[in-house]
Structure 1
């Protein structure tokens, strides 16, 4: 068990999918500080190994495994690895995702399919396997959507469509699995300081500036701020919250 025995996630075993960078890596630090025992997963082993070493050196109970969320066998594998390592699963943060810039008429079929495979199919595969592992003990799952799944904007059509689909999966799962004692919610980050935002800024700085300047708090969020929201939803403090899509956007969708 991680050394913080009084945090929001103390005593919880949490699977963190998409943990190698950005919001996922920040979530690993936040969840560990909140007392969770963590299984980290992503495609990049080097990044996971470095992050795991950092957290275990600080006294936290963290392991990692690699996998691609769009591959069913990989998803089953990292859920099984969590149960084998920690003995059970209490919660999961499904955060793996990719972006694709371009108007809907500019996105290639190959790029559209890849966004859907990671962001939508990957979320579905994770939900399916996590429910199997949570079993009769129940638990909590948080999916990463986006404010792009709530409102439209030009230039991110495939990404926004995928994140709207994540909201649909989340709400359906809340109904499907609520009777099993499993809560399923989503967070919807707005502009967040991350590798994804910085890559977008390099390609179209004016577009990013417009979005950040429209945030009532007049700043992009941080990965830790997004992770703190996810940690609360995973915790017992949110025990009657189910099927919610929580914006973490500085008021942009207000």
Structure 2
């Protein structure tokens, strides 16, 4: 009889990065757009260089803290929902395992397995890890995609600070008379770079990602600068 040796599958997929990647891209994108837009708005309103620098620094600190708090709260809510669903599933398995077995079998039949094979697969998976099988195939909860509040909060805060530091550096180094142009152009370039990096990490089309991020970020800066110029005040 032929014997088989099974080894753990070591291939890594991009979905494993989705938790921190989403938070990091969102944070960096917001950091660049928010800070650059603030700078564009106050620069268009003819504010002093000191006021522009103060606004940029305040925007960096406030934005990073806001991103961290917002991500933590929202992702923690998702984690609480997942825990509640898993607890209810655990109770249902304890109360009526046969019904849960039939439910899992029906899921596999719906996905294309023959009823007999679906029943066999459900039996084996539930014998190995009943709650894990239902979490994955009934609830759609997996280890790679599960909510991680602290990870999301830290990634968002750090990436926002890094993104916001770029326009802040422009304010410190660019000539005062052309600060608005330097801010918008440099931020647009940074957004294009961010879109490219996100596409490479996530395995998505580079040009489409870069254009999307750059377009909406530049639009935000132009609108904010327009408001600043219109009202002649710090926005």
TM range (shorter): under 0.3
Greater percentage in strand: 1
Greater relative contact order (CA < 8 Å, ≥ 6 in sequence): 2
In our comparison, the structure showing a higher alpha carbon Rg is 2
Greater percentage in helix: 2
TM-score w.r.t. structure 2 length?
0.27
